[in-house]
Amino acid sequence: MRRVRYTLSIAGKLLQPMPKLLSSLLLGLSVLSASAWSASPGDIRQSGFVYCVNGVMNTFNPQLASGGLAVDTLSAQLYDRLLDVDPYTYRLIPELAESWEVRDNGATYRFHLRHKVAFQKTAWFTPSRPLNADDVVFSFSRIFDRHHPWHNVSGGNYPYFDSLQFADSVQSIKKLNNDTVEIRLNSPDASFLWHLATHYAPVMSAEYADQLTRLDRQEQMDQLPVGTGPFMLSEYRAGQYIRLARNPDYWKGVPRMPQVVIDMGAGGTGRLSKLLTGECDVLAYPAASQLSILRDDPRLRLTLRPGMNIAYLAFNTRKPPLDRPAVRQALALAINNERLMESIYYGTAETAASILPRASWAYDNNAHITPYNPQKAREQLKALGIENLHLTLWVPSSSQSWNPSPLKTAELIQADMAQIGVRVTIVQVEGRFQEARLMEMNHDLTLTGWATDSNDPDSFFRPLLSCAAIRSQTNYAHWCDPAFDSVLHKALLSQQLASRIEQYDEAQRILAEQLPVLPLASSLRLQAYRHDIEGLVLSPFGNASFAGVHRNPREETTP
């Protein structure tokens, strides 16, 4: 293989050549060849598998992300959390914390850590000790303590936790001994454990952080990851692929496959073609329109599971005339939900009546789907004095777990709005660019969604619709209602499910009246894969670990 000189790039930015770092990278990372990995698929098939997904990488640290590959795919491979969620029972289970205690009616949480958990040994870091309480204190102090020396590294924005206002609600994070950490809150929060079980809450190495502080290279932690997970970063080529090598010291046992390639290089039918030709072993989020092809091919398998996700249309409530609930209600009447289900989801989703998926224990069974009534929409807009309305609709260009075809969805909404005399211009945006532009508040509508690896309803309400979520760039509606926030706060004060359900019913009633966002669909999670791939777990809460994935040695079935 011809070898070429290279510089590792992260999120499209070149890491500056630094003698010690660069030499260690060249020693530890596989040198990129002049051709892409797919030029020799046989090698991959012998030693690993290829996971094809459409997405953009902005960081390898899920703490800094608001979704996307870092959270949905990579976090479960690179890192572990204190707690996990069982994908079948939807219950909290131990991960890095062997056990935990809830004290002071939910205001104090004590975690007892697992012993002999090794951090990954990479080209850029060699650990001298196993995981201990210092790592947990560092990981969460960086997020919750605004005065922590690492808080502002890489921008100081932690979208998921910022939207929950944990920097204001966490009183202290203390190491009681090497194996025990205690987190005290200013007031009880019944959702706290669930938030720590999300992929936004990985435990990182304090020793690695200390090394980078001495070298004054703190941002490297978010570019060259070190975790305790089953796989570690081996190669990354921006916009094309990520190669992961198995962690031989993984505390749950050595992963079955030596490597995994995350292929980001093709979208839409290109990814389907790669699956059919064997260049991809797994196709994440296939389009619902492709289901007939996937089902009819004997070389393929298809997994469908209920998902904790919601696709919705957000109104920019800070911009006239969308600042008026009556206008938002009128526009909602124009959207043909039944056609969206038929044309986008092909039976793999249900029309949403609430921002909560039906699978949530707090879902309001009395919630009503907004009816399709374009005649009434026209009449209401006329009564409100709204004429010649021109709106911009911002939409992500790539498929999402909650919406396999965002652009097509936007075009259907555009056509629906035209029927009531509202002109809609579609603007395609992606990744961090989308978030930055949405925060400028120039848009009128945005087609977006949310998926969480938590079964607690707080993981939907506060990140999407709280006042704090405007600052954390996850509240695309820019809607702030103190009464709504108060209801959410009350729901956290009790450990009793019945009490919390009562508050969340009230929250859903407020949303139905004010309609800052229009829920569209809650979709099944889909995953297609080659028939010889086994051990792949599809979780409703985001991607599970690839540690148990392996290839059955039997010969492939011919089509």
pLDDT in tens, 386-440: 999 999 999 988 778 788 889 999 999 999 999 999 999 999 987 544 555 555 6
Q: What is the DSSP secondary structure assignment for residue 546, as one 8-state letter?
A: S
Q: Where in the chain is the domain with CATH 3.10.105.10?
A: 309-523
Q: Work out the average pLDDT over 322-339.
A: 97
Instruction: Give, rounded to a whole angstrom, the gap between the first and last alpha carbons of the chain.
Output: 33
pLDDT band at 441 (very low <50, low <70, confident <90, very high): low
What average pLDDT does the segment 356-383 reach? Answer: 94
Query: Is 46 or 196 the better-scoring residue by pLDDT?
Result: 196
Helices in 216-340 by DSSP H: which ranges?
Answer: 220-223, 269-277, 291-296, 325-332, 337-340
Residues in the chain: 559
| Kind plus residue range of the DSSP H or E element containing 423 | strand 423-429
Q: Which is more confidently placed, 36 or 284?
A: 284
Task: Please report the pLDDT score of residue 508 as a whole number.
Answer: 97
1 band by pLDDT with thresholds 50, 70 and 90: very low
Return the pLDDT at 11: 35
* Predicted pLDDT at 89: 80
- Strands 550-551 and 533-534, by their bridges, are antiparallel
pLDDT, one tens digit per residue, over 58-108 is 899 999 998 888 998 999 999 999 999 887 787 899 999 999 999 999 999
- Tokens 């919630």 locate to 367
For the chain, give the percent of residues with pLDDT over 70. 88
What pLDDT, in 10s, does the model give residues 465-502?
999 999 888 899 999 999 999 999 999 998 888 999 99
In words, the CATH class of domain 37-60+67-77+229-299+531-559 is alpha beta
**CA–CA separation, 361 and 456 (whole Å):** 8
Q: What is the pLDDT of residue 406?
A: 93
At residue 404, the pLDDT reads: 84
* Amino acid at residue number 515: L
Q: What mean pLDDT comes out for the span 312-325?
A: 97
pLDDT of residue 439: 56
pLDDT digits (tens, 9 = 90+) for 227-251: 999 999 999 999 899 999 999 999 9
Whether the CB-CB separation of 496 and 526 falls below 8 Å is answered with no
Structural tokens at position 289: 């329109």
Residue 144 tokens read as 């919750």
What does each C-alpha distance from 25 to 14, 16, 122, 222 come to in angstroms? 13, 12, 9, 16
Q: Is the pLDDT of residue 8 over 50?
A: no
Cβ atoms within 10 Å of 423's Cβ, excluding its own: 12
User: What is the CB neighbour count within 10 angstroms for residue 326?
Assistant: 14
330-349 average pLDDT score: 94
Average pLDDT, the chain: 87
Residue type, 341: M
What is the CATH number assigned to the segment(s) 309-523? 3.10.105.10
The confidence score (pLDDT) of residue 360 equals: 87
pLDDT value at position 16? 36
In DSSP terms, which residues pair with 525 in a beta bridge? 305
CATH architecture of the domain covering 80-217: Alpha-Beta Complex (3.90)
pLDDT at 323: 97
- Please report the pLDDT score of residue 269 as a whole number: 66
Tell me: pLDDT of 443 over 90: no
- More reliable by pLDDT, 559 or 235: 235
Mean pLDDT of 141-151: 97
**For position 431, what pLDDT does the model report?**
57
Instruction: Report which of residues 451 and 421 the model is more confident about.
Output: 421
pLDDT (0 to 100) of residue 13: 36
Confidence of residue 453 (pLDDT cuts 50, 70, 90): confident
pLDDT at position 3 over 60: no
Listed in order, the ranges of the chain carrying CATH 3.90.76.10 are: 80-217
38-42: long-range contacts, CB 8 A cutoff, minimum separation 24: 38/263, 38/274, 38/279, 41/278, 41/279
Q: Which residues of 447-482 are buried (b: 16+ CB within 10 A; e: fewer)?
A: bbbbbbbbbbbbbbbbbbbbbbbbebbbbbbbbbbe
Span(s) in the chain for CATH 3.40.190.10: 37-60+67-77+229-299+531-559
pLDDT digit string, tens, across residues 293-310: 999 999 999 988 888 899
Q: What is the mean pLDDT of residues 103-115?
A: 96
114 has a pLDDT exceeding 60? yes
Question: Can you tell me the mean pLDDT for 507-513?
Answer: 97
pLDDT digit string, tens, across residues 155-193: 999 989 988 888 999 999 999 999 999 999 999 999 999
| Its pTM surpasses 0.85 | no
pLDDT category of residue 202 using cuts at 50, 70 and 90: very high
**What SS3 class is residue 361?**
coil
The Cα–Cα gap between 356 and 310 comes to 7
